[in-house]
Structure 1
């Protein structure tokens, strides 16, 4: 049940990520340029992932750090599977997809992925300090 709930939460994160991408392309890039737009968008998405993890952890009901890491790993794998399959389905070349993982033009996507992996654990740590 925990992994099903974690997958549902990832779908929520996915919706926010798509909206963030729309914001980046439609507002941030025209307003501030590509480099600041990528950085701002990455920070926004990272915060969204953390907040969603923080708010949904009680519902997911993970027991301990191993399960929290498992959830983060699940989210990371689902994200990568989505990114590659959606990109390839849209006709984006593999080279272009992989370029997002190079910090090119300020794209902090690799850091967002790292946060995705550790967000459940970090959110749990913040929750226990309250």
Structure 2
């Protein structure tokens, strides 16, 4: 239970970074670089931020077994997808508009960000020597 609460706290931190990244993308990256390079750079930046936060936080999570790392990553993925679809629907976006983010259209690498989100706890724990 403690692991789940800690993982949720870290996910909220990642969520704040993702929102800030989205604001940066819309305010500077896309207007300054155009749509495709702005989306790619934003996705890469968010992926790096997720990995850095996870790398710093994984000792606090006290992950000692790979199933824990995989469980945290899958939990973060589920939370992210739930938030993304719920927030999009609350904004009045259609399902087709929401699903367009998963097509790599115009340089959108959101599926890569999701893969990084799911894999980050395992990768960070391995990198920090917490897992064999």
Q: Calculate the TM-score normalised by the size of structure 1.
A: 0.97
Show CA shifts across 1:21-69 (max 9, x none): 0000000001000100010000000000000100001111122111000
What corresponds to 2:25 in structure 1? 24
Q: Distance in 2 between matches of 1:127 and 1:31?
A: 37
- Determine the structure 2 residue equivalent to 1:127: 128
Contact 2:102 2:110 in 1 (8 A): yes
Counterpart in the other structure of 2:9: 8
Identify unmatched segments of 5+ residues in structure 2: none
Matches within 5 A, 1:3-82: 3-82=4-83
In 2, Cα distance between equivalents of 1:15 and 1:46: 14
CA RMSD of aligned residues (A): 1.0
Gaps in structure 1 of 5+ consecutive residues: none
1:111 aligns with 112
User: Counterparts of 2:127 and 2:37 in 1: how far apart (Å)?
Assistant: 28
Aligned residues: 129
Task: Report deviation, 1:93.
Answer: 0.9
3-state DSSP of counterpart to 2:63: coil
TM-score normalised by the chain length of structure 2: 0.95
